[in-house]
Chains A and B, each alone.
Chain A
Amino acid sequence: MSASAGTDSSSAAPAVPGSSAPGTGRIRLATSLFVLVVLVVAVLFPLAENSRQGTMSIAVFAVIFMVAVSAWNIFSGYSGYLALGHAVFFGVGAYTVALMAQDWHVPAGWAIMALLPVCGVVAGLVAIPVGLVALRTRRHTFVVVTIAVFFIFQTLATNLAFTGGTGGIQLPFVSWTFSVYNERFYYVALVILVATVALSWAVRRSRFGLQLMAIRDDEDRARGMGVRTGRVKLAAFVVSAIPVGMVGGLWAYFLGSVYPQSAFDPLFDIALALMGFFGGIGTIAGPLVGALVLESLQQYFTQTFSANGLYLIIYGGLFLVVILLMPRGIVPSVSHRLRSWRAQRVDRASKPAAGSDAAGVTG
């Protein structure tokens, strides 16, 4: 089991016990420092960017997607089950906040932010029956079932009476000034992101995470060794739905309205998987890198070129190139390269005599 975890431990993941090569402590210290620096930059980022609000709104979308992809990765990355229906939970979160705000007359402002955990809980509850149906199947059959479930929810949101149909639902208008609007959403998203990454890290280190990865490597053998596969898969599916529901709610509130076509968007389904594979699934840093790069790019292109299709070409094309050149994603490929480079250096350092002899002869 430690071997399977070792093959794709990311740069942000803790070193696997048993692989304590010289310098492991230093690597762990460097990783902690790196995480700290990233966190400080993320917190201070709005102060430096106050002049251009466009950048700030890109940042809000990017953090929302970093949450969603990290959460998706807790299920799909660790268990190897490729879920293409997480837009269901995003849309459920979005409609939950909109309906609550509308029916309970929640005042605009922080009160609505306080409802976001409810969105997460509702999304988690929806994930239970969906998971019970979908997880009866495996591999590509599972993928197709999740796609079908997604389209069922989209149809329901479009046609049921209480969702407002294609007219959607408007959320109460927040009277925050323009300069703090994006910033406040950014910080709320950042808090959810830190919690989600901590969750992902905790799952990866836990017995639960090891069971998931055992399922990914060989489900039948995992079951044979006593893993309760059905229960473990369902638990991971529900856990991964909760943060997605929360950012779905945040996203709806940020935009001020929900429509069935945008809340249940097929592009969202595929975006999570593209971003996950782009960065590297099954790692902790991979989904973050993938979402940060791809979502920022997409938002930037949408702002710059509006909707003329160019960003679709670049978006799809970029993914095709990465999947061909680095089939495991950016983070695993880069960390693999870093590790082999480091190993080479250690090798060279351990036999300096031979090296200097050779140098002496040729010199």
Chain B
Amino acid sequence: MSFDGLIEAIIDGVLTGGVYALMAAGLSLIFGVMDIINIAQGAMVVLGAYLSYVLSVHLGLDLFVGLLITVPAMFALGVLLEWGFMRRLREGDRTSMSILVTYAFAIVIEGVLTLIFGSDYEELNASYTTNSVHVLNFYLPEIYLLGFAMAAVLLGGLYLLFFRTKFGRGLRASLQNRTAADLIGINVNRTRMLAVGIGVAVTACGGMVYGATVAFNPDSGYDLISRLLAIVILGGMGSIGGAMASAVLLLVLADVVAVAWAPVWSILVFFAAILLVLSVRPEGLFGARAGRAQ
């Protein structure tokens, strides 16, 4: 492996990491808010990609302009999901049951997409999905740069929302102690519903960038969810900054493995990360779980 090859793998990894952080943010957020592991996250990313696909192919909208429609649509889906299923799970075994319920939800999404679009691979096209910026010796694909920038802005925005606003304070209060939050006048159900909606809405952006960087079909979600889970677990469930850091770390590692060894083994980086983290340090590398213990 040449030195340039290594540098290129690292740069690729950092940029792809931004895209994955955007996809994983919703998963981390929903877990942080509801203690729910949303296995449907992969399917939702793919759903977001298909929504962007419809808008760009049939209405000729630019991919980023199309987000003005897909983001509210996915927000509504998230709110519906929280209201219809998540809040109805019993407190005791909520996390385990949530895995099953959201898995079933993922199957339904996959079925709907297959029914409408068939199982052929599609991809999103625009001028910036094929162009590259030439810096020194390296070609940086524009879409990755745009995706990384969007990830940084959105995740920064989420951070501000949670730690600098009244809504965020109410949300964190209802996480720490539901009963007490109820007593001091926080509408816990509404707060959670909005938070899940925001998580799914961010996923719409992740789905658009995902669809613009790789080809996808209705069952791409399975491949995605294992990577996203690894990212969120390594970053610490519920931590947005942790998701960003671990996404970059894992994608760089995966790209280096792909260059140094073979692309097919790069996926093992994610699973090794899950096993290692969960059996050695269950709260994740950047996890804040201990601080939330009641």
Contacts and interface: CB of A to CB of B under 8 A. Distances in A.
Interface of A: 82, 84, 133, 136-137, 139-141, 143-145, 147-149, 151-152, 155, 158-159, 266-267, 270, 273-274, 277, 307-317, 319-320, 323-324, 327
Nearest to B282: A141
Given A140-B95, A144-B37, A147-B229, A274 B104 contact: yes
Given A139-B96, A144-B278, A274-B104, A324 B111 contact: no
Interface stretch (B8-16, B170-178, B268-276): B268-276
Interface in B255-294: 264-265, 267-268, 271, 274-275, 278-279, 282
B226 A158 contact: no
Contacts of A151: 226, 267, 271
B250 to A, nearest CB: 13
Nearest to B221: A266
B279 A137 contact: yes
28 contacts: A82-B96, A137-B278, A140-B37, A141-B282, A144-B233, A145-B275, A149-B271, A152-B268, A155-B265, A155-B268, A158-B264, A159-B264, A159-B265, A270-B103, A308-B114, A309-B218, A310-B111, A312-B108, A312-B110, A312-B114, A313-B108, A313-B112, A316-B106, A317-B104, A319-B104, A320-B105, A320-B108, A327-B97
Interface in B71-102: 85, 88, 90, 95-97, 99-101
Given A148-B275, A149-B271, A320-B85, 10 more contacts: A144-B37, A145-B275, A152-B268, A155-B271, A158-B264, A159-B264, A273-B103, A314-B111, A323-B97, A323-B101
A218 to B, nearest CB: 12
A316 B282 contact: no
Nearest to B97: A323
A327 B100 CA distance: 12
A310 B218 CA distance: 13
Contacts of A140: 37, 95-96, 99
A144 B115 CA distance: 29
Contact of B100 (A152, A312, A323): A323
B179 to A, nearest CB: 22
B113 interface: yes
Contacts of A319: 100, 104
B44 interface: no
Nearest to B229: A144
Contacts of A137: 278-279, 282
Contacts of A149: 271, 275
B222 A312 contact: no
Contacts, number: 117
A236 B90 CA distance: 27
A68 to B, nearest CB: 17
Interface residues of B, number: 39
Given A84-B99, A140-B99, A312 B275 contact: no
A143 B108 contact: no
A354 B74 CA distance: 61
Contacts of B113: 309
Contacts of B188: none
Nearest to A321: B104
A82 B39 CA distance: 15
B113 to A, nearest CB: 7
B188 to A, nearest CB: 21
B110 A309 contact: yes
A144 B113 CA distance: 26
Contact of B115 (A270, A310, A324): A310
B6 interface: no
Interface in B20-72: 37
Contacts of A148: 226, 229-230, 271, 274-275, 278
Contacts of B100: 82, 270, 273-274, 277, 319, 323
Nearest to B268: A155
Contacts of A310: 111, 115
B242 to A, nearest CB: 16
Interface string B215-235: 000100010001001100100
A-B residue pairs, 9 tightest by C-beta:
A312-B111, A309-B114, A316-B107, A313-B111, A316-B108, A309-B115, A148-B274, A140-B95, A309-B111
